[in-house]
Homo-oligomer: A and B are copies of this chain.
Amino acid sequence: MVNPIKEELNVQASNPLPADTVGWTVPHRARLADVNNPLPLDCGEEITPVEVEYETYGKLNEARNNAILILHALSGDAHAAGRSAKADELNRPWQKNRPGWWDRMIGPGKSFDTNKYFVICSNILGSCYGTTGPSSANPETGQPYGLAFPVVTVGDWVRLQERLISHLGIKRLRAVAGGSLGGQQALEWALAYPGRVESAIVIASSTRLSAQGLAFNAVARHAVTTDPNFQEGNYYHDAAPDRGLAAARMLAHITYLSEISMSRKFGRKYRNGDGPGFHLGVDFEVEGYLQHQGNSFVDRFDANSYLYITRAMDYYDASSWGDGDIDQACRRIESRVLLVSFSSDWLYPPEQMKELAIALSRCRKHVSYANIQSSYGHDAFLLEVEKLSQLVRGFLKVRGVE
């Protein structure tokens, strides 16, 4: 028998981590809502109890004014940097020996410099990585919530994050930052808690999803909910709706890449040899890639969480802070704002980011906007680290804690 703890230590010993890493990380848990203090939700309901999983990197200074909150995207988690010391214990093999999802941005000397900043990342409400979600026990039944979980919103996520920040004794954040759905959370922070955010970094995101984006999410949810294993969300004791979730993820991956990056990466290359195999199965490399993405996703993500999080993505509309008027909403903002889009991102197109930049300018807010030339599509927020770093460093330098 392999001793998992011993094996983990061996791995740690045999894989010395690079000098600019935050090192081995351990997730924390905090109960941020209970019966005496339930979390109010945008849908009108309340939820309790709520546990939140989060990680921190670097040290909170005495003035408690060097904290940066990192916001994750759809399928992300609190493990944003370093290597998880608990991958085995938490039964998350996909985290094992892999750096956190934004490790190239967070660490000693990196953009979010852990020598200077206290960096926090928490898993969102409704997800499946330690924070309360549809797979958590419903206190009314003792069974997993399933579809009895309330519909949550980006606003709810941020409201819960505010509780975490208060729990950590932080009044004002040095910055909030995220890409994609994480960018919408950063924007929501600046709108919902104007006095508590010094600066907001909104990347590969927008004030709201386009009709096309809504359409992709609708097809993804259709695939999940029509999988017979779905059973109205009560699949936790049976086989999960893996086929539907895999289809949803395959589809999502198309929207994360650009047409040009797909062409460069796969083109029309066949997996076996030079020509058609004359069958209906996987014959092109791009098909194999998508199948792999779909199949590996189902091992690490909960189908119900996918439904709830895409729904929150659908519902988000920053202009609702101004009764549908984005200018009116922007007037609330007190933070400095950095907006970054990527030229080939077609899920959250640059045009939409530019509109937000113009609205913020019209309201005489402190806004910087950059459209990075990139062929990587939406995924660029994870890949164009060098260009992104330059922008983030410059932006954070202006009024730093140093």
Give the B-binding residues of A (Cβ under 8 A): 42-44, 147, 150-151, 153, 208-212, 214-216, 218-219, 221-223, 225-228, 243-244, 246-247, 250-251, 253-254, 257, 259, 262-263, 265-268, 276, 278-280, 282-284, 286-287, 290-291, 294, 307-308, 311, 314-315, 317, 346, 349
A222, B247: Cβ atoms under 8 Å? Answer: yes
A290 contacts B219, CB within 8 Å?
yes
Tell me, in angstroms, the Cα distance from A208 to B211 when the chains sit together. 28
**Least CB distance, A360 to chain B, in whole angstroms:** 21
Q: Which residue of B lies closest to A226 (CB)?
A: B243
Interface of chain A, helix or strand or loop or mixed? helix
Q: Judging by beta carbons under 8 Å apart, are A215 and B254 in contact?
A: yes
B211 touching A268 by the CB < 8 A rule?
A: yes
Query: How far, in angstroms, from A389 to B71 measured CA to CA in the complex?
Result: 52
Complex Cα–Cα for A153 and B208 (A): 42
How many identical subunits does the complex contain? 2
B314, A215: Cβ atoms under 8 Å? no
Across the two chains, which residue of chain B brings its CB closest to A243? B226
Chain B residue nearest to A319 in the complex (CB):
B268
Contacting pair A307 B280 (CB below 8 A): yes
Residue of B nearest to A263 (CB): B211
B214 touches A268 (CB 8 A): yes
What is the bound-complex CA distance between A253 and B212, given in angstroms? 10
B215, B263, B278, B282: which contacts A287 (Cβ < 8 A)?
Answer: B215
Nearest chain B residue, comparing its CB with the CB of A43: B278
**Are the C-beta atoms of B214 and A291 separated by less than 8 Å?**
no
- Return chain B residues, CB-CB under 8 Å to A212: 254, 257, 259, 262-263
Q: What B residues does A283 contact at CB under 8 A?
A: 314
Contact of A284 among B44, B223, B314, B349 (CB under 8 A): B314
